[in-house]
Chains A and B, each alone.
Chain A
Amino acid sequence: MNELLRVEQLGVVFHAARGRVYAVDGVDLAIAPGEVLGLVGESGSGKSVTLRAIARLLHEEAHITGRVLWQGRDLLTLPARALEQVRGAGIGTIFQEPMAALNPVLSIGLQIDESLRAHTGLDAAGRRARARELLDLVGIADAASRLRQYPHEFSGGMRQRAMIAIALAANPKLLLADEPTTALDVTIQDQILRLLLRLVSELSMAMLLVTHDLGVVASTCDRVAVMYAGRLCETGPTAQVLHAPRHAYTDALLRALPGEGAARARLQPIPGMPPRIDHPSPGCPFAPRCTHAEPRCDRERPAMQDVAPGRASACFAQDRLGVAA
């Protein structure tokens, strides 16, 4: 497969005062050009940490291991200056809370201009024209006067559009989107999702979409990766994974959805305690809550195995699930 980004055995350990937290453990991902990959999981599953680790946005108490290959280069070992060139120009990033992610005391125009100045050779007039063009692109009317305004003068949806415009300023080939609609009103969530999908296809960009909303995954993603307790459970084409899960966790997740998973719905709680990521178990982290668990699930960690073309799962019950569905 022709790959844009390849993540190999990504691990993130936070060194906190009270001990270590194993946030991400052995995650493999690959994204092809133009592809939309959904990374789905409950809060605390490590999906957002994975996204931030890819762009090396975590702070110093996070120890990252593994490799993040971008055009044959490992982003995790890239010198700071080279990394700055990849960020923004190669990989754009948008966050969950546009109000928090936009600098409150700088105008939107300046925050776009920063990216253009860093990544394009445009002169001042060229950058101004490009900034207006970007606001038009994300559907913000009256671009010229909007550029002079500050984040608090924008509505929630407009802020998210502005953040997308900033992230797209330098034409990245991959967009990392960290729960881009979670903080928004339901009516605006759809608009923003549609906008993202349109931009992905118009600009022939790939996107890693982190979400805890299976409905969002179903309606936007080509492929999906499911995470639990910092580990990858299964990956595969969205339709196949959602209709015939091959991991007990995905299965439980879908069963917990009201209305057979077709309707847009947030993840429902699964019975049992959420996993402790400060003391990782030697076996499958989902075993204590799993209805399919076998004795070895507590002791042995199931390895990621190909279960079908383009599909992989890390579950000892993968075959039984196929039958049950």
Chain B
Amino acid sequence: MDNVITVRELRVRSRDKTLVGPVSFDVGQGSTTGLCGPSGAGKSTILRALVELLPNGLTRDGELQVLDRTIAPGKGDADLRAKIVLVPQVPVVFGGSILDNALFGLRHVLRASQGVLKERAEKALEEAGLWKEVADRLDSPAQNLSAGQRQRLCLARALALEPAGLLLDEPTSALDERSRDKVEQSIAALHGRRAVLLVSHDPSQVERLCDTTVNLDQPVAASPAAAVG
């Protein structure tokens, strides 16, 4: 079985109106798939549809398969979200220290000793390319990190879950060039190890990072999707 995520004829609707789609694509094991399109095309909405985080009033239909499990619309739950982790565009930092943040998802999902948890969080920080910068201040407040560091912290706390797939929503859109390069390095390092679905409006970024590309061409005008994406 090669595909982590299989999507067929996926649509996002508001009542009877189709806002996004239909789209079909696969994200293979270890591969990085780019999801491209102009602003308002519904890229972010599709990511949210995959993990059942659509805003109220929107529904998905079409076929979605994660690993070998078929997820019927509305049946995606917390366990699905722990396997396919969405990293939103705005890097949200929770209260508490850097380590607390890195552990935020994991400690709700994995029953293990504090030592094991911490080890995994540290490994994830390393995988996200943040370890060197924060190794000496894991216990200091996460609020003090720069925007680029925050983005990588969000990546790390997703990676700590050891997800089968990662959904990255415009991970570099709010960053300066240097931070962007660092985040891109971290994403590139995932190649071959994780299934990644990367949403980006920047074709060159997609070209740099992705094996395959899905283009969402038809923009959907005046949709609530614009508000969420």
Partners in one complex: no
